[in-house]
Amino acid sequence: MGVHDTVGSGFFIRDDGYIITCHHVIFPLDVISIKYKGKQYPASWCEDFSNIASDIAILKIDILDVPKVQLSVPKDQIVSSMVYGFPLHKEVQFTKGYDIRGTLEQSSPVNTLSTYTKYPEIFNSQPWQRKPDPDDTFWAYKIDSGVSSGISGGLVLDVQSGNAIGVIQSSTSKKSYAIKWKNISEELKKLSINPDSVAVFSTVALRHQKNTVSATANISHLPSKSYRELLGRQKDIDDIMSALLDESGRRIISIDGIGGIGKTALAQEVANQALSNGFSNVVWLTAAEKEGPEKMTFNSVLDGIAEQLNLVSLLKLKGEARLSKTRELLLQKKVLIILDNMETAEESQQEIAERLFSIVGSSKALLTSRHRFKSSDSDIYTIHLSGIDKDAAFGLVRDTALEKNMTYVLDVGDENLEPIIDAVGNLETGYSPLALKFMVGQLMEYDPKTIIFYMKKVQIRSNPSDLSYNLEVREFWKGIFMKSSRLMGKQDKRLMFLMSRMFEPNIGTGEVEIVKSAMELSEQEFLNVRNKNWKISFLELGTPSFGSRSKQRIYLHRLTFSFFSSFGRRRG
């Protein structure tokens, strides 16, 4: 943004071309222009929506259907966020962006005029060429590092939720400020934007609740999250949390549904909320896919409970003494036991569930599987998970495209995206989140008509009770994987084969040096292969869950793992 010797950052707050930035960025300019996707746009200053006293300017360019950023008000005192902007010396990176991390703290009101000290007096030839009054102040978060010139006006993002929580001011000192939305709440209302309306759902606020987690809770074992925001699942989360918090309710909750529907992601979101709602610990155990001693049995579940709660004495007990001591423990402590992907357990998932019911005590258990659990009114509360609705499907496609820097997907337009979305689901069954992510990856190479044409051949038309249903589900995923695999090069496929042989699905590894060494690739070569597979959606990049001390992991979804495992066996 800018002419003369000034440049700044900004971001869209509405999809019809409204942009927010700092007023001091446009103050010295005779003409305001915006660079977006390599193209220069003339911009107009929207005086009615701007607030000079708070150093906020709202601009408008003539463009439609641009990706906007959701605004949110965090409720916590201290947040860790990311700042996005474009320093002047890195202007060539406009299409990629530039980021820094920092910790934000509550600040006293900041004098607005102090930001303008480096600017000379300017003849007021344009209506925006006005400085704030000497006594003007704004509410802000303080960031404990300086940010480069040109980042002013940039996005302060809560990475977990994907929401903007403020606008950054650059500084030459060792501290900077993020301007809060409360300064311009009235102006935003004129644009039909209300950051307070999404404050309750901000994961910034959820992360702040980590102070309510027991100091003894060991949650480093929770799996990494492969999503920024879990879209379309609020009702499911609410239903599960209500069942978990009902002291007189059923002790076991089960989630079943086809592969790729989001069972593990839903369980992860519930785990995070449980730790902020009275549960002292979460035990998370994933049933192994490969044959061996790690296959899930009831005894391995008992081992996992003892290990993750750091109770070595339990591991030494056998038989009834062990059951009795575990039952006693789960009566005294409120623990959430999550058993994921139970369809691959060595023992029957029903048998494990029934034996678990006898010891769960005051704690609760959450089980996920592709197969349904048999249930009566007194034992298991069952949730049959279907796909997300169409609004959430559109949101997931946009979110995936933005996260993976594949913004050209958004240029396809909703009128072309909707038939693609409808090709992987319908209003009755919902839409598979994983399938939607693969559709985004396929748009790297294929045009929408090609994707729609072949997806019509593998659509799931049967109901779960029909005999042909499981066959149609298998053909559905085989069609998606085969089409996506044609986007891969030799090294891309090699990485997938290695991952399927070396690591369990949904777990993978945080030690990427092992994989890079096995492939004999340089750092940059490995990153290129990793990112290619991530964009296609064969590879998952997981960020550590709330409170977890684990590293970012690379791993395969269970369906992807099965595809490359069987593909490798067919090859030889």
Grouped pLDDT means (10 residues each) for the chain, 572 residues = 62 91 90 87 94 95 86 61 58 42 63 77 80 90 68 76 79 74 90 69 36 45 74 91 88 93 93 86 87 81 90 85 91 92 92 91 93 77 92 91 86 87 88 94 92 87 78 90 94 94 86 90 93 95 57 86 75 45
The kind and range of the H/E element at 337 are strand 335-340
- Domains, the chain, ordered by start: 11-205 (2.40.10.120), 214-384 (3.40.50.300), 390-571 (no CATH)
The answer to whether residues 505 and 343 touch, using CB atoms and an 8 Å cutoff, is no
**Residue with structure tokens 């202007």?**
91
4 secondary structure, DSSP code: T
- 269 to 70, 72, 79, 136: CA distances (angstroms): 20, 19, 19, 42
Residue 506's pLDDT is what? 84
Contact status, residue 185 vs residue 195, Cβ threshold 8 Å: yes
**CB proximity list for 204: less than 8 A, separation 6 or greater:** 72, 74, 75, 76, 79, 81, 158, 160, 161, 163, 165
pLDDT for position 201: 37
Q: What are phi and psi of 413, to 5 degrees?
A: 90, 145
Give the type of residue at 342: M
DSSP 8-state code for residue 159: T
> For residue 245, which phi and psi values (nearest 5 degrees)?
-90, -5
Query: pTM here?
Result: 0.62
Answer yes or no: are the C-beta atoms of 59 and 21 closer than 8 Å: yes
Q: How many CB atoms lie within 10 A of CB 8?
A: 24
Strand 11-12 versus strand 18-22 pairing type? antiparallel
Residue 277 · residue 245 · CB < 8 Å: yes
pLDDT of residue 23: 93
Residues 6+ apart with CB under 8 A from 532: 488, 489, 492
The answer to whether the CB of 442 falls within 8 A of the CB of 417 is: no
Read off the tokens for 384.
Answer: 């049959």
Q: Which of 227, 177, 230, 172 is closest to 201 using CA atoms?
A: 230
The letter for the amino acid at 539 is L
What gap in Å lies between CA 140 and CA 23, rounded to an integer? 15
Token pair 């000192």: residue: 173
